[in-house]
Amino acid sequence: MGRIRILSDLVANQIAAGEVVERPASVVKELLENSLDAGATRIRIEVEAGGRKLIRIADNGHGMMADDALLAFERHATSKLRTSDDLLSIATLGFRGEALPSIASVSRLTLETRAAEEDAGTIVEINGGNIQRVEPAGLPVGTTITIRDLFYNTPARRKFLRSEQTELSHIAALVTHYALANPDRHFELHSATQALLTAPITANAGDRLFQIFGRDTTTHMIPVAAEIDFARAGLPEPPPWKREPDYEPPAPGFLRISGFVSKPELQKLNRNSIYIFVNGRLIRDRLILHALTEAYRNIIPPTSYPVVLLFLEMPPQEVDVNVHPAKTEVRFRQSAFIHDFVRDTVRNALMHARPAADFLHALNNNSPMASASLLVDVSPLPNGPDQPVFDPQMPAATFGDAQAASGEAFALQPERQLLTAERLAFNGATIPVGYSDNSTLTPDGEAQTLNELANLRPLGQLRDSFILAVNDEGLWIVDQHVAHERVLFEKILRDREVEKVQRQRLLMPLLIDLQPAQMITFASLAGELERNGFEAEPFGPRTIAIKAAPVGLEGRELERMLEEVLAVPDREQQAENAEARRHRIAASIACHAAIKINTPLEPSKIDWLLAELAKTEHPTSCPHGRPIALRYSLKDIQKAFQRI
């Protein structure tokens, strides 16, 4: 007997399920896209246990006739393709005909559907790929698909699912994406305990943006719109000897970009707020993400990310959506052109939204924008738009609005460079300073560091950001923000251990709007937040009311701290144990409650901070790993003056 065999349909479908159905959110995506392709204007999603126990999607689309209801579960059965040529111009979200049979092979599925042309609907029940029941029923026009016990017959797949909260947050993020992309449809997402999202039909994408994100985010968004005719774009054609065998010139039609991008003041800690759609399809595309990064280069820090809702429309022939089983990746025929067009369009929108007059006005009025504007020097780019660039010789900015959330002292490296070229004047004395590459303190010398910190004599501040001090060993430069962050971090952990966390009640509850995925994450962290001094409770379906917070956290810093805690990437949450979560939250509280850079300190405050730093267990770095102090030994200084 030969070695090669043809797999059964059941095994083939389960293999396909491994490609199409990665997790419950994958099921929701496939079924939600089918509902949109069916012309549904109302879509309701229900989930239980993060989608493991139940996923139900009901729509009012055109439904299926009785024969089609059965045929839909055959492999590669689809109503959206006829010939191979159709693959070159796909205009629907689904087209492979793999989703339904793949999902049915790893779950208990019930289909209820009725087309407008028929008087009765059809119910189809399938368990693990085997049809159990087919019968007519009185049903409204549309389709309802119920998925129970996902992966019940493939336990190896089931055990790799994450926690219920994690899986539910993926579903919530997905539904939020498609609600943003389809303002002309009504979306609802319900868990077993609450309504996570209710998004009625709106007039346009701007109204839907306001509906999902709220006023605070929407006021910081800039509209983006541009289009260009492919035929007139002047796209370079490769020479004949470099052309692919199936090379064709660009398809006739327009490339259109529309949507919204955030002003530089609005920054996020990850890419979760970047929403990209190509011809209505949700995608994760490195090319477009890189174009956005380039558009914001030198406008926001490289560790921060904008909020983006971007729609690209182009002839279907110009984009290949058939390069990934889950259809989340695409390939553009004119990739370089599309990259540059997205980059320049977003860049121009950002530049026009903040003309030079606004910067000058801000400088004259000493507003927060004045401090931020000191970071940039506008110089023209060869291709037209003006691009801000960092100037290390400019004064350090007040990062109260832009950078305090991450606690970054971006002036640190420029200051280290300036020290080699400048003379520092304190109390009339001029001190030339040399720089040593080995001057950053390391954990290996913490015991020695504690002794030296206890004997420091402060001289003053450098640009209200760094404390300069001396002892018999040499000159020290201490970052006041990260030093205070280390002090607060260890105090928070000690107080939490003995349940003596200091909290302050707010005069008025602080109301914070959260996205559905953030609400789920907040619920999973509520207990730890309470043990750290927070008192919060739901205030509506997507709002929480903060009634008390740890001492030192208030106003915008309190909001930023919560945003940071809720924005941890999924891969980090999956690997996070209880201790890591405790440390992460304590570090975030400490960072946002700590003294900021560009803050003048009284001598008594400097003395206190250095004394408290000397009492910490780890005085060499902050909880996030940044160095606290630079030490210039007497030997380094003598070498700089050529005395040894």
Average pLDDT over residues 615-634: 88
In order of 78, 97, 130, the CA distances from 73 in angstroms are 9, 8, 10
**The CATH number fitting domain 412-484+599-640, selected from 3.90.1150.10, 3.30.1540.20, 3.30.470.20, 2.160.10.10:** 3.30.1540.20
Burial of 565 (0-12, 13-18, 19+ CB in 10 A): buried
Tokens representing 600 are 């003048």
Which of 121-135, 346-360, 454-468 bottoms out in mean pLDDT, i.e. has the lowest? 346-360
- Three-state DSSP state, 449: helix
Q: What pLDDT, on the 0 to 100 scale, is given for residue 453? A: 81
Q: Centre a 10 Å sphere on the Cβ of residue 424 and count the other Cβ atoms it contains.
A: 17
The pLDDT value given to residue 283: 85
390 pLDDT tier (thresholds 50, 70, 90): very low
Strand order in the sheet with 42-48: 130-137, 121-127, 108-114, 142-148, 54-59, 42-48, 186-190, 195-199
- The CATH fold assigned to 500-593 is Ribosomal Protein S8; Chain: A, domain 1 (3.30.1370)
- Chain-centroid distance of CA 342 in Å reads 19
What is the Cα–Cα distance from 104 to 109, expressed in whole angstroms?
Answer: 6
- 434: which 2 tokens? 């040399």
- The listed CATH number (3.30.465.10, 3.40.50.2300, 3.40.718.10, 3.30.230.10) that belongs to domain 205-237+250-353: 3.30.230.10
CB 331 within 8 Å of CB 320? yes
Residue in the structure block whose two tokens are 């780890």:
618
Q: Is the pLDDT of residue 414 over 60?
A: no
Beta-ladder partners of 460: 468
Q: Which residue has the tokens 């020097």?
A: 377
Segment among 286-295, 312-321, 439-448, 594-603 with least mean pLDDT: 439-448
What is the separation of C-alpha 524 from the centre of its chain, rounded to a whole number of angstroms? 18
Q: Closest by alpha carbon to 230, among 332, 314, 335, 342?
A: 314
Taking only the tens place, the pLDDT of each residue in 415-450 is 333 233 233 333 333 333 333 334 445 444 565 666
The secondary structure of 49-60 as a DSSP string is GGGTSEEEEEE-
* Max avg pLDDT among 111-120, 296-305, 370-379, 574-583: 111-120
The answer to whether the beta carbons of residues 296 and 306 sit under 8 Å apart is yes
Dist. CA 385–CA 374, nearest whole Å: 20
- pLDDT for 591: 93
Question: Which position has the higher pLDDT, 485 or 1?
Answer: 485
pLDDT of the residue at 406: 36
SS3 377: strand
Q: Smallest Cα–Cα separation from 267: which of 373, 413, 465, 404?
A: 404
Q: What is the pLDDT of residue 333?
A: 83
Look at 153-157, 333-337, 410-414 and tell me which has the smallest mean pLDDT.
410-414
- Give the total residue count for the chain: 644
Give, in order, the Cα–Cα distances in Å from 540 to each of 511, 512, 564: 10, 11, 22
546-558 pLDDT per residue, tens: 999 999 888 889 9
Provide the token pair at 405.
Answer: 């959330």
Task: Provide the residue type at 59 as one letter.
Answer: D
Least confident of 60-64, 293-297, 447-451, 614-618: 447-451
Least confident window among 205-209, 404-408, 493-497, 621-625? 404-408
Q: Is the pLDDT of residue 515 over 80?
A: yes
* DSSP H or E run through 556: helix 555-566
584 in Cβ contact with 590 (< 8 Å): no
Q: Tell me which of 6-10, 135-139, 150-154 is least confident.
A: 6-10
Any alpha helices (H) in 72-218, and if so which ranges?
99-104, 155-158, 164-181, 205-213, 215-218
Residue 472 is predicted with a pLDDT of 85
Domains in the chain: boundaries: 9-196, 205-237+250-353, 412-484+599-640, 500-593
Nearest to 596 by CA among 519, 484, 452: 484
Backbone phi and psi for residue 518, each to the nearest 5 degrees, phi listed first: -70, -35
d(CA 610, CA 603): 11
Q: How confident is the model at residue 241 (pLDDT cuts 50, 70, 90)?
A: low
pLDDT band at 410 (very low <50, low <70, confident <90, very high): very low
- Rounded mean pLDDT of 564-582? 74
The residues near 457 (Cβ < 8 Å, ≥ 6 apart) are: 469, 470, 471
Dist CA 278 CA 259 (whole Å): 12
Positions of E strands within 433-524? 457-462, 466-471, 474-479, 503-513
Q: Taking the mean position of all CA atoms in its chain, how far away is CA 492? A: 27
CB atoms within 10 A of CB 192: 13
Looking from the CA of 32 toward its CB, the CA atoms found within 13 Å total: 29
- Bridge partners for 485 per DSSP: none
For residue 311 the two structure tokens come to 């729609």
Average pLDDT of the residues in 25-44:
92
Query: What pLDDT score does 14 carry?
Result: 60
Q: Quickly list DSSP for 512-532.
A: EE--HHHHHHHHHHHHHHHHT
Strand order in the sheet with 629-633: 457-462, 466-471, 474-479, 629-633
Average pLDDT, the chain: 78
pLDDT band at 91 (very low <50, low <70, confident <90, very high): low
- DSSP state, residue 385: S
Q: What pLDDT sits at residue 343?
A: 95
Position of tokens 């070695």? Answer: 3
Confidence at residue 308, expressed as pLDDT on a 0 to 100 scale: 95
Q: What is the pLDDT of residue 136?
A: 94
The answer on pLDDT for 310 being more than 70 is yes
pLDDT of residue 427: 36
Would you put residue 641 in left (φ > 0), alpha (ψ -120 to 50) or beta?
Answer: alpha
Close Cβ partners of 3 (under 8 Å, ≥ 6 residues apart):
none
Tell me the C-alpha distance between 149 and 51, whole Å.
8
- Of 316 and 447, which is predicted with more confidence? 316
The radius of gyration of the chain from alpha carbons, rounded to an integer in Å, stands at: 29
In this structure, CATH architecture of domain 9-196:
2-Layer Sandwich (3.30)
What's residue 184's pLDDT?
95
Pairing relationship of beta strands 376-380 and 308-313 according to DSSP bridges: unpaired
Residue 398 is predicted with a pLDDT of 30
Lowest mean pLDDT among 94-98, 167-171, 284-288, 630-634: 94-98
Average confidence (pLDDT) over 573-598: 87
Average pLDDT over residues 380-406: 34
Point out the least confidently predicted range of 193-202, 248-257, 354-363: 354-363
Contact (Cβ atoms closer than 8 angstroms) between residue 629 and residue 479: yes
127-141, 329-343, 442-456: least confidently modelled range: 442-456
